[in-house]
Amino acid sequence: MPLHAPLAVEATALTKSYGATTAVDGLDLAVPAGTVYGVLGPNGAGKTTTIRMLATLIRPDSGSARVLGHDVVTEADAVRAEVSLTGQLASVDEELTGRENLVLLGRLLGLSRAGARARADELLEAFGIATAAGRLVKHYSGGMRRRLDIAASIVVTPRLMFLDEPTTGLDPRSRNQVWEIARALVAGGTTILLCTQYLEEADQLADGIAVIDHGRVIAEGTPAQLKASVGTGALHVRLLDPDRRPDAAGVLERALGPVSLQPDPAVLSATCPDPARAAAAVAELARTGIGLAHFSLDQPSLDEVFLALTGRGAEEPPGSAPTFEEQTS
Amino acid sequence: MTTLTTDADTAAVRRAIAGTERPPRPGPLQAALTFGWRGMLKVKHVPEQLLDVTVTPVMFLLMFTYLFGGAIAGSTSAYLDYTLPGLLVMSVLFTTVYSGVALNTDLTKGVVDRFRSLPIWRPAPLLGSLLGDSVRYVVAGTVIIVVGVLLGYRPDAGVSGAVAALALVVVFSFGLSWAFSVLGLLLRSPNAVMNAGFMGIFPLTFLSNVFVDPATLPGPLQAFVDVNPISILATASRSLMAGEPDVPAILVSLAVAAALALVFLPITTRLYRSR
């Protein structure tokens, strides 16, 4: 990233504890203005706590953060005037209609009565909720509800938007729509801080990514840089006989390092630093008598990035780094 | 095909994003009134909420008047004259518990986080929802008075006496509701708020002069009943309905309401900010 790019978010050594649990532990973050920045980590990694501090909902125990140039503690009101929250964090009122929700927020943001109504109708139309405008939000489908959430966050277009797990629980079609809306926002000049545990989501939307684990940033960069830091690629192997997968995993682990087992019971993959070692690993599989249906050398996915960085997959609960035996049993 | 109406229209979203200027921040009053409007919308959408708070007092009214009234006061109509202003107090005070419940419900739903992330006067959501709640207080009080009149109750001071009594009780409830807001912010679930709230308000209401003349009570209990603010409020409400205002009782009621607000309002605002 260019040295002089203005930063939308600049956090230094942010820390927040709840009792004995340190949710965020000396976290540093630099988000260039005008980009989508992904904060990627498993459940409980400290993503939501971080956003809540940056959005002035909770005070950090120590460390400092500036959002759009304003200190989150001493200039909290100035921060609030320019940011929006959406996703898991800040929802809409289920006991009001979609239209009432948007008019309510318009009024709270300072629009006139007529202005708030006009803005609500414009957003309802644009987000495809116009036909359900008069229905109570508790009767909305998940996708409609999420779109209303986002519409509620742009009643006045924010300069920075916190999107916390915006597509959790959505079907692929609704998910694509949310992504489209996020892209439209960035095209309009809004900076987005995206928290997600979906690697694909970060890969799809983010210009830069910070991987966090146990409240700390453990890696940072563009999606391409992160992949490159892990190795030149990943070896994907499809076995003829899925029952041989434990043997194959053992061979690959010895040859290349950590192995991730894919949902398809015949497929496994491992990151590898250079193609020569991948070739050697494939040769070793053949020598051991494990039949291959197919193998390929690809850019590693973010899932593999996480595995390489933490020694465990992103989907697993934190605290334990399961050994290969535990994964297969 | 319904795709046109159920999908986001990216081009329109782009236009909607481009077309806004940040308006000036709303003043404290506009923000609070907007939250008051939100409270009214909830009553409009879920009028059943009002049933919760009106059915119980009406039940008490019928039960006490016809079951115990004769035994306590010699005749049901004499008892109705005595107890109706007190039941007005009870029905409205019970409603204040729901202010705490509603606040807690908001907190569990995450909508409060959106409000807290807005650049508005911080106590506005709390003040506004109490403004909306006052509509509920008025409805609860009116229902009791109307049912009383249907049963034969006739306040000596007529409509103006009843309105004055209702107004006093609503003002008192405004002060008391801050105490339940604190409960709403401290406890984990709306149900817990409801239980804790009624655990407080229920015995306090019964250990007052709402249902019986304290002259028949044993000494220590009578002493408690006499200083119970609910007794004083009921006495004040009775005096207004009778057209012979008991000024000290009215002033003490107002002072207690002010004291409750002074103590609990800052606690509420602080808790709301730090949650």
Q: What is the CATH number of the domain that holds A308?
A: 3.30.70
Reported as a pLDDT band with limits 50, 70 and 90, residue A15 is very high
The total number of structural domains in chain A stands at: 2
Write down which residue in A226, A255, A284 finishes a domain: A226
> Domain residues for A212?
7-226
A133: number of Cβ within 10 Å: 18
User: Which candidate from B20, B46, B114 shows the least CB-CB separation from A156?
Assistant: B20
**A22, β-bridge pairs:** A17
Q: Are residues A37 and A120 in the same domain?
A: yes
What's the one-letter identity of residue B206?
F
* Alpha-carbon distance A80 to nearest alpha carbon in chain B (angstroms): 5
The CATH number of whichever domain residue A89 belongs to comes to 3.40.50.300
Residues A234 and A221 in one domain: no
Q: Does B220 touch chain A (CB under 8 A)?
A: no
CB contact under 8 A, A109 and B23: yes
Q: For chain B, give every domain's residue range.
A: 25-274
The answer to whether residues A211 and A46 touch, using CB atoms and an 8 Å cutoff, is no
Q: B44 CB near a chain A CB, below 8 Å?
A: no
Tokens of B214: 């304290």
pTM attached to this predicted model = 0.79
Interchain CB distance below 8 Å, A125 and B41:
no
- pLDDT (tens digit, 9 = 90+) per residue, B25-47? 888 999 999 999 998 898 888 88
Please tell me whether residues A121 and A240 are part of one structural domain: no
A168 has a pLDDT exceeding 70: yes
* Cβ atoms < 10 Å from Cβ of B248: 12
Q: Which of A80, A95, A162 to mutate to test the interface with B (most CBs of B within 10 A)?
A: A95
In B187-246, alpha helices (H): 190-206, 219-227, 229-242
> Cα–Cα distance between B239 and B162 in angstroms, integer?
10
**Is residue A90 located within the same domain as residue A184?**
yes
Looking at this predicted complex, what is its ipTM?
0.81
Do residues B272 and B185 touch, judged by C-beta distance below 8 A? yes
DSSP A321: -
Q: Which pLDDT does position A146 carry in this prediction? A: 87
Residues A50 and A194 in one domain: yes
| Pair A176, A288 in one domain | no
| B51 in contact with chain A, both atoms CB, cutoff 8 A | no
Residues A277 and A162 in one domain: no
HSE-CB for A285 with a 13 A CA cutoff = 30
> Do A184 and A273 fall into the same domain?
no
- Residue pLDDT, tens place only, A41-95: 888 888 889 999 999 988 999 999 999 999 999 998 899 989 998 866 568 888 8
Classify residue A101: in a domain, yes or no. yes
Question: With contacts defined as CB-CB under 8 Å, which chain B residues touch A56?
Answer: 117
B115 touches chain A (CB under 8 A): yes
Do B8 and A96 make contact, defined as CB atoms within 8 angstroms?
A: no
Residues of B in contact with A109 (CB under 8 A): 22-23, 26, 118-119
**In a shared domain, residues A153 and A289:** no
Confidence at residue A300, expressed as pLDDT on a 0 to 100 scale? 64
- Predicted pLDDT of residue A97: 95
All residues of chain B having their beta carbon less than 8 Å from the beta carbon of residue A177 are 7-8
- Which of A226, A259, A294 marks a domain boundary? A226
The CA distance from B182 to the nearest CA of chain A, in Å, is 19
Task: Count other C-beta atoms under 10 Å from residue A183's C-beta.
Answer: 17
Contacts of B8 in chain A (CB under 8 A): 126-128, 147, 177, 180-181
Same domain, A122 and A212: yes
Indicate the residue among A203, A226, A249 that finishes a domain: A226
User: Is A2 a member of any domain?
Assistant: no
- pLDDT, average across residues B158-184: 92
Instruction: Write the pLDDT tens digit of every residue in A85-144.
Output: 886 656 888 889 999 999 999 999 999 999 999 999 999 999 889 999 999 999 998 888
Whether residues B8 and A157 touch (CB distance < 8 A) is answered with no
pLDDT of residue B239: 93
The arithmetic mean of pLDDT across residues B119-136, rounded, is 86
Closest residue on chain B to A142 (Cα): B6
Closest-CA residue of A relative to B47 is A95
B13 touching chain A per CB within 8 A: yes
Domain-embedded: residue A1: no
Question: Does A250 share its domain with A201?
Answer: no
Same domain for A37 and A104:
yes
Closest C-alpha among A168, A222, A171, A176 to residue A198 = A168
